[in-house]
Amino acid sequence: MLSKALQKALNEQINKEFYSSYLYLSMAAWAESRNLPGFAHWLKFQQQEENGHAMKLYNYVNERGGSVELGAIEQPPSDFKSPTTLFEEVLNHERFITASINKIYEKAVKENDYATQVKLHWFIDEQVEEEASASEILNTLKMAGEKGPALLMLDRQLARRGQQR
Ligand code: OFO
């Protein structure tokens, strides 16, 4: 059985994962409107992953005999200055999510809740990947610039997400 404190933290995390999904969908919409279909594809792919993260936690809370309580999802921003700013925001957001997962893990350690620790190992690993891929794209944008052929090439590369994994 989950403690009340861990149940609350996991429910809040479910909300954060759904917010991530909403944020990336909003970013995808921005990219579509800027004629960047590859960026939009990457972000929509990410949006689906975030739904998966939320559902993993949803299932886990239920499996442990807890109750899932869904809160309101905050409105995400809808305007981004440029593809670089957008990816800066992706990276910052993922760092925020990593910190949030780490805090829940600390709680699980304090409470000797081993099952939650093991469940969170998957999320801790996933966050390493999430931060690495956001920062790789951000570095490419910074190095190659956001105009002309470089942006077109990156857009084509991002359009392949899900095909090469
Ligand atoms: Fe769920 O990892 Fe991103 O936010």
Is residue 152 one of the residues assigned to a domain? Answer: yes
What pLDDT shows up at residue 145?
85
Residues with CB under 6 A from ligand 1: 17, 20, 50, 53, 94, 97, 130
Q: How many CA atoms lie within 13 A of 125 on its CB side?
A: 6
Cβ–Cβ under 8 Å, residues 43 and 25: yes
Is residue 163 one of the residues assigned to a domain? Answer: no
How far is ligand 1, taken at its centre, from the CA of residue 149, in Å? 30
Q: Does 162 score more than 70 pLDDT?
A: yes
Over residues 28-68, the pLDDT tens digits come to 999 999 999 999 999 999 999 999 999 999 999 999 999 99
Over residues 82-108, the pLDDT tens digits come to 999 999 999 999 999 999 999 999 999
Is residue 108 one of the residues assigned to a domain? Answer: yes
Token representation of residue 138: 């951000």
How far is ligand 1, taken at its centre, from the CA of residue 3, in Å? 24
Give the closest residue (by CA) to ligand 1 atom 3.
94
What's the CA dihedral at 141, 144, 150, 154 to 10 degrees?
Answer: -40
Is residue 123 one of the residues assigned to a domain? Answer: yes
Question: How confident is residue 6, by pLDDT bands cut at 50, 70 and 90?
Answer: very high
Q: Does 7 score more than 70 pLDDT?
A: yes
Is residue 55 one of the residues assigned to a domain? Answer: yes
pTM for the structure as a whole: 0.96
Quote the number of domains for the chain: 1
Range of the domain at 32: 4-158
Q: What is the mean pLDDT of the chain?
A: 96
Which atom of ligand 1 is least distant from the CA of 127? 2
Question: How confident is residue 114, by pLDDT bands cut at 50, 70 and 90?
Answer: very high
What is the average per-residue pLDDT within 138-161?
A: 93
Q: Does 165 score more than 80 pLDDT?
A: no
What is the average per-residue pLDDT within 65-90?
A: 98
How far is ligand 1, taken at its centre, from the CA of residue 20, in Å? 6
What pLDDT shows up at residue 54?
98
Q: What is the CATH number of the domain that holds 62?
A: 1.20.1260.10
Question: How confident is residue 137, by pLDDT bands cut at 50, 70 and 90?
Answer: very high
Which atom of ligand 1 is least distant from the CA of 46? 3
Is residue 40 one of the residues assigned to a domain? Answer: yes
Is residue 84 one of the residues assigned to a domain? Answer: yes
